[in-house]
Structure 1
Amino acid sequence: MNAGAANRPAGAAAPVDSIAARPVLDIAGLCVSVRGEDGEREVVSDLSFKLARGETLCIAGESGSGKSMTALAIMQLLPQPAGRISSGTIRLGETNLATLNERQMQRIRGARIAMIFQEPMTSLNPVLSIGRQLTESIEAHTDLSQSQAQRRAVEALKAVRISEAESRLKQFPHELSGGMRQRVMIAMALALEPDVLIADEPTTALDVTVQGEVLELLRDLQREHGTSVILITHDMGVVAEMADRVIVMRHGRMVEEGAATDIFALPQAEYTRELLAAVPRIGTGAGRQESRDAAEASKPANVADVDDLHVRFDLRGGFFGRINRRVHAVEGVSFSIAPNETLALVGESGCGKSTTAKALAGLVPYQGDIAIGGRNLSGLGRAARKAVRRDVQMIFQDPYASLDPRMRVGDLVAEPLLIHGIASKEERRERVAALFERVGLSADQMELYPHEFSGGQRQRICIARALALRPRLIIADESVSALDVSVQARVLDLLKELQREFGVAYLFISHDMAVVENISDRVAVMYLGQIVEMGTRDQVFSNPRHPYTKRLIEAVPVPDPTRRRERFARLDREIPSSTRRIGETPPRLALTDVGGGHLVAV
């Protein structure tokens, strides 16, 4: 690694002279075109930048801005035959990648330039072991024997701090957690110590603590090997934590470029200012929910009451397939939600928050008591239970996966009304049209199909569908985590407007603590199936008492390069499993009131 990058203080941009001198990657006048039904159109237009050795360059922007297409063009992985580089040069050292054929690029990919994709589960081959996938890449680019390649693979896994590296070689991708799969992807990318590493949204799907671990890992490996990094993301907090320089893209064009400190302190482009203004910040941020009176938030007539909820799944194993282990997904959870209130349920993947939501919506069997509007579901017949379920609706994380692609969106929104036999056909159409107008869409769009909408528009359709039955409670399960920051802000504003208008209550499930802090009235923190802390938003965020809550909040990246952390909170080990042997139960946590209804596990 060059001395300038090694000695540069956190938050400081790389010196201009070091960037200009002998760049590792030099892109000039890059144009990328994609052919569709309406002919060919440019998705990247006249893009030029240089990447210095040891530098981290972040390319930021919303979906459709051309970030990922730029990365795919550099790697020569554009979709074929539709995509092509129509003009420009991509020089890696003295080699123009834009002129190489596939066989020549195969020798460069992995060896000199590597890429980490957003979703590791779709990037790793599910039928090959981790060891086979690692050694295959090493053997393709080196003259090492199989045993030597295996030793290199073990070293790569150890470098990304995966425990028991030798035994991990025999495991398959589905046997690892999301954070571990992403670390395996990083190990594969860095096993041959490439000159350039492209990381395309490497932390978007990860929990905030795992995200911090992965970013810290990239920093460490960059310091050790002097690798140049192109980090593609729409998370401006990650940009502030990692970038030396920033390129902001919109509609395929660069709208602004500069040092990270300059971009955040004095953005020149209006689009950059809008992007930064939409970023949720703990304690501040556009559209932040005002604190509500504690007495108002605890009115007796609750929309939902959950008492001593348990959800367990049995696992079979052994030669005869006997039940030998049990997943304690939710263990003794209790909470209530008042009318017009937002209760946020937060925690890392596997903590039980989504399972709790599914139990509340009647999608999984459970033990304990769930009462909706004062009616306990466990004591109701099928018809009565169906009627009560009208009061609880869900908005899921992926709007495209939750909408039937074969149906028109107007029919999808009307479907709950049809199932419950509400209104005539004409009345249903009028109600759906009114819902479309209310969520910011037009009635004319009712005849379109899901694929004809953007991600943010599809989520608005899902919100309209959830509102169709005029429910008392809407469960939003990671409903904005897959959206761009500005689209996310607009959807959150819409949810708050609808709450004020209809008095609906929300169970808001998320691992994004900054979003939670901006929208919630009360917060419940879950860990291994149990609530470890619960209180008003201000109690939990201003005075977190449980160590796990503190770690979640500390791991949130701050969108300010001048406050960049030297080290992220590091995970010393994988999150413990909630799976136990039959007959073995986890220790029950008792919640103690530390003042003003602020409950903390002891």
Structure 2
Amino acid sequence: MTALHSAAAPEGAAEPLLRVRDLTVSVRDRGVVRPLVAGLSFDLHGGETLAIAGESGSGKSITSLALMGLLPNNVSVTSGQALLDGIDLPSLPEARMRAWRGARLAMIFQEPMTSLNPVQNIGDQLTEAIRAHEPVSRRDAAAQALVALRKVRIPEPERRMRQYPHELSGGMRQRVMIAMALALRPALLIADEPTTALDVTVQREVLDLLRELQTETGTAIILITHDMGVVAETADRVVVMRQGRMVESAPVETLFATPSQDYTRALLAAVPRLGAGAARAKPLPPATPAPVARLMDVQVHFDIGANFLGQATHRVHAVEGVSFDIRPGETFGLVGESGCGKSTIAKALAGLVPHEGRVEVDGKALAGLTVQGRRAICRDIQMVFQDPMAALDPRMTVGVAVAEPMVIHGIGTAEERHARVADLFQRVGLNPEQMSRYPHEFSGGQRQRICIARALSLRPKLIICDESVSALDVSVQAQVLDLLAELQRETGVSYLFISHDMAVVENVVDRLGVMYMGQIVEMGTRDQVFGNPRHSYTTRLLDAVPIPDPTRRMPPRPERDLDLPSPIRPIGEASRRVRMRNIGEEHFVAEED
């Protein structure tokens, strides 16, 4: 049942810029027509931000593609209208729609790396987009492109014009996409999950930028997201969708304060909130002389470049002097922005990359182990990766995939392995009858549960969760996190939980380390780091977390240099090490200049 709260039009807005009425988008599959979006209606005024929120499969992105005229061949608008300035977009022929794209409406996609041409430099891509819609010379188009890059606050825009997408960070690539979308001053901008793949600090910068540019240009924005914190930070009104239908539509303050539908209430309740972790605090596992894992002065370097003799000229200092231990039954977190070394530490701990320093698992050093010794270590450490679809073989049934580690290690008979897999499926909330299915027959959350079952099959002492819930919807994310906690209570397994989502980490970990440029800059218990952050970088991460409360919107942060220091140095040049000091009760903080 759809609930519609009365939403007043923005002051001074007589007619809506966009009027969507009873829009139905259907797919034709094997001769059967099935609706993906059914009877969707909403209005959008100039200068307004409308958030379309919901979980994966709710029809959010299909709606945006229908408005842009970019639907796949077997998907089409079967009824309804989408009127932009009185023109019905779905009824426009492709030639006219191509002229409208960019000029009157534009779109920012979720993953900028796949949206940008890898063999064209940034300047050529921007000028090409401008010249496709305006009769200007290449020189004038380049000048307009430079202005667009300056508007999105990219440092050294002249140099960026000559660079290729792979030479830019994720945040800068997203800014290039925003510059490209806004270069022709469109009336409507559709942003499809524009910050999902970004670190929390870069996400904050992109959201601030969109708000500033909207104030300057008066562009209307449709923001498509499943992150209710982002909705609270940016939206004026919200449309909540589920399974292709609108569940609820309301001004953002009304929706968060008094949601009328059970689904909306469940969606808001599943959002991880900073501060909620303290209420769930449990006794910290005691320090033991024999931790599950211990890292001492670990360094991971990668040599790159080559001179005319084929010798490396530079070195990537991915991890530089990291030390910590993980106790039995503990969840230890690693947080930080992309490229800080979190995943590299996980790979070093799992023996997947060469390292210097000492890494111990269950009291045994990884260095110098025989093949048999390494295989034994693999039984103690398992990993759950970010993308469960990529981690599962699409040609292998999930039952066989979960049993495979036991086959490799020669554990049990075929009947015993089958019984063990069936037990694991029940333990992670799946039906043993599903063991004969393939990965594509499951949802994202179910696939991640299968990966967790596979990790548990060898009864490991440590499971490394590398961004294992960041790609999941908030409700599915909450289910997986509850499952991990339940399994820890049952089996006593330890977790290394790696994430850039501070709100999720605060609800999960016992202790954590904050990483910056390959080094830990703060480490302590959850209450110490979240309740009393002492390093400026930790504070910056916490300040950037979107608050799922529209009455507490954060003001735009002061502009800062987007260029992080480079971890790449010439061979022989040492990296500067931070000095850690104990400020009390094992709360360690790096000294700052």
Same fold? TM cut 0.5: yes
Q: Which residue, out of 43, 50, 54, partners 2:36?
A: 43
- How many equivalent residue pairs? 586
Contact 1:317–1:323 at 8 Å: present in 2 too?
yes
Alignment of 1:107-118 (within 5 A): 107-118=99-110
Out of 209, 216, 222, the residue aligned to residue 214 of structure 2 is: 222
Q: 1:513-552 residue pairs with structure 2 within 5 A? A: 513-552=502-541
- The answer to whether the 8 Å contact 1:391/1:471 transfers is yes
RMSD: 1.4
SS of the residue aligned with 1:390? Answer: helix
- The amino acid across from 2:139 in the alignment is S
Range with greater deviation from structure 2 (433-442 or 511-520):
433-442
**How much does 1:317 deviate?**
3.6
Q: Is the 8 A contact 1:297 1:521 kept in 2?
A: no
Aligned-pair identity (%): 63
- The Cα shift of 1:18 comes to 3.9
1:132 deviation in Å?
A: 1.2
Which residues of 2 match residues 50-69 of structure 1 at below 5 A?
50-69=43-62
Q: CA deviation at 1:540?
A: 0.1
Which residue is 1:505 aligned to? 494
Counterpart Cα distance in 2 of 1:112 and 1:327:
44
Any conservation in 1 of the 2:351–2:366 contact (CA below 8 Å)?
no
Unaligned runs of 5+ in 1: 1-12
| 1:387 and 2:376 matched | yes
**Which position in structure 1 is the counterpart of 2:24?**
31
Aligned partners of 2:10 and 2:48 also within 8 Å? no
Structure 1 residues 569 and 254 mapped into 2: Cα distance closer, same or farther (>3 Å)? farther
Mapped contact 1:475–1:506 kept (Cα < 8 A) = yes
- In the superposition, the TM-score normalised over structure 1's length comes to 0.95
Question: Can you list the C-alpha shifts for 1:479-522, whole angstroms capped at 9, x where unaligned?
Answer: 00000000000000000000001100000000000000000000
Distance 1:600 1:38, change over 3 A: farther
Q: Which deviates the most, 562-571 or 350-359?
A: 562-571
Instruction: Please say if residues 51 and 239 of structure 2, whose CA atoms lie closer than 8 Å, have aligned partners that are also in contact.
Output: yes
What is the deviation of 1:319? 5.0
1:93 to 72, 75, 85: 85
Give the deviation of 1:22 after TM superposition: 1.1
SS of the aligned residue for 2:276 comes to coil
User: Residue 224 of structure 2 corresponds to which residue in structure 1?
Assistant: 232
Match of 2:319 in 1: 330
Which is further off, 172-181 or 31-40? 31-40
Contact 2:155/2:561, CA 8 A, preserved across alignment: no
Partner of 1:119: 111
1:435-446 mapped onto 2 (5 Å cutoff)? 435-446=424-435
Residue 36 of structure 1 and its aligned partner are, at CA, apart by: 2.2
Tell me how far apart the structure 1 counterparts of residues 360 and 479 of structure 2 sit (CA, whole Å): 32
The answer as to whether partners of 1:213 and 1:569 remain within 8 angstroms in 2 is: no
1:429-508 correspondence runs (5 A) = 429-508=418-497
Letter in 1 for 2:194: P
User: Once the two structures are superposed, what CA deviation does each residue of 1:253-312 show, in whole Å capped at 9, x if it has no partner?
Assistant: 111011100000000000000000000001127xx7732334x34233311011110000
2:240 counterpart letter in structure 1: V
Could you say if the C-alpha distance between residues 17 and 230 of structure 1 is closer, same or farther in structure 2, counting changes exceeding 3 Å?
closer
8 Å CA contact retained: 2:7, 2:250: no
| 1:266 and 2:255 are equivalent in the alignment | no
1:298 aligned counterpart, secondary structure: coil
After superposition, the C-alpha distances for 1:387-439 in whole angstroms (9 at most, x for unaligned) are 12210000000011111111111111111111111111111111111111111
User: Which letter maps to 2:448?
Assistant: Q
Q: Matched residues in 2 for 1:488 and 1:570: separation? A: 32
Maintained 8 Å contact 2:380/2:461: yes
Name the SS of the counterpart of 1:49 in structure 2: strand
- The C-alpha deviation readout for 1:89-126, integer Å capped at 9, x for no partner, is 01110211111111111000011000000001111111
Q: Give the secondary-structure state (helix, strand or coil) at the position aligned to 2:118.
A: coil
- Determine helix, strand or coil for the equivalent of 1:29: strand
Q: Name structure 2 gaps, 5 residues minimum.
A: 1-5
Please state whether the residue corresponding to 1:261 is helix, strand or coil: helix
Name the amino acid aligned to 2:556. Answer: R
Q: Does 1:426 align with 2:415?
A: yes
Change over 3 Å in CA distance of 1:322–1:301 after alignment to 2: closer
- SS across alignment from 2:117: coil
Query: Using the alignment, how far apart are the partners of 1:531 and 1:152 within structure 2?
Result: 42
In the alignment, structure 1 residue 150 sits paired with structure 2 residue 170? no
| 1:444-467 deviation per Cα after TM superposition (whole angstroms, max 9, x unaligned) | 111111111110011001000110
Once the 2 structures are TM-superposed, how far is the Cα of residue 38 of structure 1 from its aligned partner? 7.3
* Map of 1:351 onto structure 2: 340
The alignment status of 1:254 with 2:243, answered yes or no, reads: no
Deviation at 1:565, TM superposition (A): 1.3
Further displaced range: 316-325 or 508-517: 316-325
Deviation at 1:322, TM superposition (A): 3.1
Query: Do residues 198 (structure 1) and 190 (structure 2) align?
Result: yes
Kept in 2, the 8 Å contact 1:331–1:530? The answer is yes
Distance across 2 between alignment mates of 1:199 and 1:219: 12
Structure 2 residue 287 is matched with structure 1 residue 298 = yes
Partner of 1:79: 72
Q: Is 1:590 aligned to residue 579 of structure 2?
A: yes
Counterpart CA distance in 2 for 1:289 and 1:34 is: 46
| Corresponding letter in the other structure for 1:403 | L
Q: Could you tell me which amino acid in structure 1 is paired with residue 381 of structure 2? A: V
Contact persistence 1:532–1:546 (CA under 8 A): yes
Other structure's SS at 2:388 match: coil
1:342 aligns with 2:331: yes
Moved more, 583-592 or 237-246: 583-592
1:19 Cα offset (Å): 8.4
- Give the whole-Å Cα distance in 2 for the aligned partners of 1:530 and 1:292: 28
- 3-state SS, counterpart of residue 564 of structure 2: coil
- Cα distance, 1:17–1:142 mapped onto 2, change above 3 Å: closer
Are 1:375 and 2:364 matched, yes or no? yes
Contact 1:19 1:52 in 2 (8 A): no
1:37-61 per-residue CA deviation (whole Å, 9 max, x = no partner) reads: 4722111010000100000000000
